[in-house]
Amino acid sequence: MGNNNLFGFKHLMIKFKRVPRKSDAFNIFISILPILLLTLLILVYPLLSVFFHGFTKWTISETRFIGLDNFRNLISNGSLVLLLKNNLILLLTIPIQIFFSLIIAYLFYEEIWGWRIFRILFYLPAVLSTVVIGFLFRTIFALNGPLNEIIRFLHMDFLVVNWLGSRPTAFILVIAAFIWSQYGVAVLIFLAGMSSIEPSVLESAVVDGANWWQRFFRIVLPMIVGTIEFYLVVLIIGFFTASFGFIYSITAGGPGYGTTTLEYMIYIKAFKHNMLGQSSALATILFVIVLVIVIIVLKVFRKMGEWQE
Amino acid sequence: MKRGLNKISKIVIFVIMLLMAMTSIYFLLFMVINSFKTQTDYILSPLALPREISFSNYVMMFKSYNIVKLFTNSLIIVSSAIFIEVLFCSLAAYAFAKTKFKGKNLIFLFFISMMIIPFQVLMLPLYMMFAKINLINTRISLIIIYSAVSIPFALYFLTTNFRRIPNEIMESARIDGASYFRIYWSIILPIGKPALITLFILDYVWIWNELALGLIFLQSEEVKTITVAAATILGNRYSFNQPLLLTGLFLSCLPILILYSFAARFIMKGTTAGAVKG
């Protein structure tokens, strides 16, 4: 079934066993109808609506078709490039994040001392809301906040940083908040992937004289490529949705539009600037970008899979 | 399995891990400790223990921040959304896991492919849609939206779990004359209970914490959830009174922390669903 690879959700597909029973079509129809209606109404219809309204001037009272003007405006006033740059900065932290989570997961797999407790504590930030984490970061890293107080107390005033005052440091805060809240999830997912590795494979590698890093790169990583692929897709989609809360609560997109990303601008354009058409155009761009990235990730991993076989 | 790491690197690793784990604990402690301080006390020494324990922040929370109302709103929205989602998704998952019909794989794929839509894309059209029928600033609009947005993952999660229920039990029930929905009610749901609990807890955490949709749909204080109120009311009104802000933040995540301390096992199991093939 070629269709099973649609959107690349190949490994999420379930092989359905055939159950020998008389099919009662009506009952099945009734069972699926509610979620079908909800999905069509709340997910599919708005998606199509966004595609359409990106090409219109949209207000509560009227909808006027204006072709590509929204897209043209976004490109010509330069805001689209800035937004994409900001998104790119966030996305570029993904490899670092995955690499460190993989190392921690491998240490946990080797059952380092206290790993069970560490696992629970590392995951803890993931259950806190982005607002709580964001405001905590903003409070702790404030100009007169606790962190700078310690530095002043130690008479190292040259290290005092106005974190929210400049673009690079504000970005570092958003990224730090995101990574801090998510690495526990990554560790857990990678650990689950590693649990399917045969211990004997690693043990014989030890006998053959492979050191820790060699085992990590040559045995563990190749064996959990599927899990990494899964997490990468989850993380990329997550980056486009979860970063909203951090940006809202830490920088509010500032200084200026310095940390405003595409998904945050969708909100600003629609609910602060009242430019519904442009917001829809941005949303369309966001959707296409996510779709393309996810497809590329899955393609690359499929290539890696073939190459290994 | 422990070969390959010498003693020194083991100790170094342990210390690094410990420091990382401490950040999780410290962030919580920072909220709790400062919630018992007055503003002057905080400004003088944000890091120290309170000089004298003050409950004034908590009193404020009840008096002027109306925290009980906010908690009630959160509870109503989260519980109703999950009830709808779990009811509908378990019904559909039963059909996908235990029956066969034409086009099943394709329909299933249609549902789970919805996972890749970032919901910022849907925010504006949903708002316009609900504005047309005057459902902005109501809890019902968010209940419907949250339950719909949760469908793709819930359906995937429940279908994989229900598939493991042995067919023999269902077959013998069928021979005894049990109807389609009877089997759902007395076999699938009871046996699938661990999966249902896991899903319930996972969704509780994400809906309780959801910000973007809540922000645009709940603008009047009457209907705000605790998370939305933390982002708007706390963030605007109390951002210069840090102890008060931290008290509000602490209270807003307290229910989730309690849930996590009891159900960490379920949450962690649910997180890894889909991570491993098969």
pLDDT of residue A102 exceeding 90: yes
| End-to-end CA separation in angstroms for chain A | 22
CA B36 to chain A, closest CA, distance in angstroms equals 16
β-strand pairing of A56-58 with A63-65: antiparallel
pLDDT tens for each residue of chain B, 278 residues long = 445 567 888 889 999 999 999 999 999 999 999 999 888 888 877 777 888 888 888 988 888 888 999 999 999 999 999 999 999 999 999 999 998 888 899 999 999 899 888 888 999 999 999 998 999 999 999 999 999 999 999 999 999 999 988 888 888 888 888 888 999 999 999 999 989 998 999 899 999 999 999 999 998 888 999 999 999 888 887 777 888 899 999 999 999 999 999 888 888 888 877 666 43
Look at the block and give the residue holding tokens 């209970």.
B193
Sequence-distant (≥ 6) Cβ neighbours of residue A99 within 8 angstroms = none
Alpha carbon A236 to its chain's center:
4
- State residue B189's pLDDT score: 93
Cβ neighbours around A89 below 10 Å, total: 16
- State residue A2's pLDDT score: 36
pLDDT of residue A128 exceeding 80: yes
CA B27 to chain A, closest CA, distance in angstroms equals 7
CB-CB neighbors (< 8 A) of A189 in chain B? 271-272, 275
Distance CA A265, CA A30 (A): 40
pLDDT of residue A60 exceeding 60: yes
pLDDT in tens, A221-230: 988 888 888 8
- State residue A12's pLDDT score: 55
Over the range A29-43, which residues count as b (16 or more CB within 10 Å of their CB) and which as e? eebbebbbebbeebb
Cβ neighbours around A140 below 10 Å, total: 19
Residues facing A65 on adjacent strands: A56
Residue A19's pLDDT band (cuts 50, 70, 90): very low
Q: Which tokens go with A88?
A: 């790119």
Mean pLDDT of chain A: 85
pLDDT of residue A104 exceeding 90: yes
CA B207 to chain A, closest CA, distance in angstroms equals 10
- State residue B84's pLDDT score: 96
Average pLDDT over residues A235-257: 85
3-state secondary structure of A162: coil
Residue of B nearest to A279 (CA): B124
Q: Which residue has the higher pLDDT, A62 or B129?
A: B129
CB contact under 8 A, B252 and A129: yes
Choose the CATH number for B57-271 among 3.90.660.10, 3.30.465.10, 1.10.3720.10, 3.30.830.10.
1.10.3720.10
Domain boundaries of chain A, sorted by first residue: 93-260
pLDDT in tens, A263-278: 899 999 899 888 899 9
CB contact under 8 A, B129 and A111: no
- State residue A14's pLDDT score: 55
pLDDT of residue A1 exceeding 80: no
Residue A211's pLDDT band (cuts 50, 70, 90): confident
pLDDT in tens, A129-174: 999 999 999 988 888 888 888 888 888 877 788 888 888 899 999 9
CB-CB neighbors (< 8 A) of A7 in chain B? 109, 113, 116
Residue A5's pLDDT band (cuts 50, 70, 90): very low
- State residue B239's pLDDT score: 73
Q: Does B133 touch chain A (CB under 8 A)?
A: no
Alpha carbon B42 to its chain's center:
32
Distance CA A248, CA A259 (A): 10
Residue of B nearest to A24 (CA): B180
Residue A212's pLDDT band (cuts 50, 70, 90): confident
Residue of A nearest to B27 (CA): A136
Ramachandran region of residue B274, left (φ > 0), alpha (ψ -120 to 50) or beta?
A: left
Residue A306's pLDDT band (cuts 50, 70, 90): low
Distance CA A75, CA A263 (A): 16
pLDDT of residue A244 exceeding 80: yes
- State residue A67's pLDDT score: 80
3-state secondary structure of B220: coil
Q: Does B177 touch chain A (CB under 8 A)?
A: no
Residues A78 and A265 sit within 8 Å (Cβ to Cβ) = no
- State residue A69's pLDDT score: 83
CATH classification code of A93-260 = 1.10.3720.10
Domain boundaries of chain B, sorted by first residue: 57-271
